[in-house]
Amino acid sequence: MAKLYVVGIGPGSYEDMTIRTVKALGGCDLIVGYNVYIDIIRPYFPDKEYYSTPMRGETERCRYALGMAESGKKTAVICSGDAGIYGMAGLLFELRGERNEPEIEVVGGLTAACSGAAVLGAPLTHDFAVISLSDLLTDKSDIELRLECAAKAGLSIVLYNPSSIKREDYLRQACDIVLKYAEETRVCGIVRNIGRSGESNQIMTLKELRDYKADMFTTVFIGNAKTKRIGDKMVTPRGYRDV
């Protein structure tokens, strides 16, 4: 049976790829993906054939990959982080529909919430929500409602896609929603270029985060009421009684 892999490559560094990811990509003839992600992995798999499209070319590249897999070519679609978390896995299943071929195998990867949390320390040791601020595919009113609910519930929050040229003020607006339920001194953190050249991180208050100039390569972490700074690390206690 024809088979198509949809693969999460994690932050992008070879060390942060799972063994299953490396094996899946190593066994493929064709790797399909967004331009930026193809450029990241090409040095690790130089002998492969590649097909890439720019942003907003997701449907085109997924249709192409399905067609190539159906024709018998060993094909993989790559996504940053995890293929099922803001990735292409769902779209590929939708496009294939009720057909039996090609078989789609999802290969999990390390999403930014996990890899970024490791850089900051342990900010997600308790319940948390992951919310993308991109309104390209989601109504802004829905994003705001999700932020409101997560903040009201007292969850730690991870924000993906916090800002862009067209959404310069979205992080500030998100912080304003959280500030309705959280103090200005709430411990927050950011990690930029996770696992890539130029990686940087910073711990700050929610008030300071409100004025931070983030971009699409930034992942934002907003702590819960018990999150604290220990040295240069951001830590959310699990609640063990003997600590």
* Percent of the chain whose pLDDT exceeds 70: 100
Q: What is the pLDDT of residue 75?
A: 98
Angle at which helix 89-96 crosses helix 58-70, to 10 degrees, equals 60
The residue among 134, 155, 123 whose CA lies nearest residue 216 is 134
Position 100 confidence tier, pLDDT thresholds 50, 70, 90? confident
Whether pLDDT at 241 is above 90: no
> What are the structural domain ranges in the chain?
3-110, 113-235
Which pLDDT band, with edges at 50, 70 and 90, does 166 fall under?
confident
Q: Tell me the fold of 3-110.
A: Cobalt-precorrin-4 Transmethylase; domain 1 (3.40.1010)
- What mean pLDDT, rounded, does the chain reach? 95
pLDDT at 237 over 80: yes
79 neighbors 109 (Cβ within 8 angstroms):
yes
Which CATH code, of 3.30.950.10, 3.40.50.970, 2.40.33.10, 1.10.3720.10, is assigned to 113-235?
Answer: 3.30.950.10
Give pLDDT tens digits for 168-214. 899 999 999 999 999 999 999 999 999 988 999 999 999 999 999 99
Domain 3-110 and domain 113-235 have a common topology = no
Confidence (pTM): 0.94
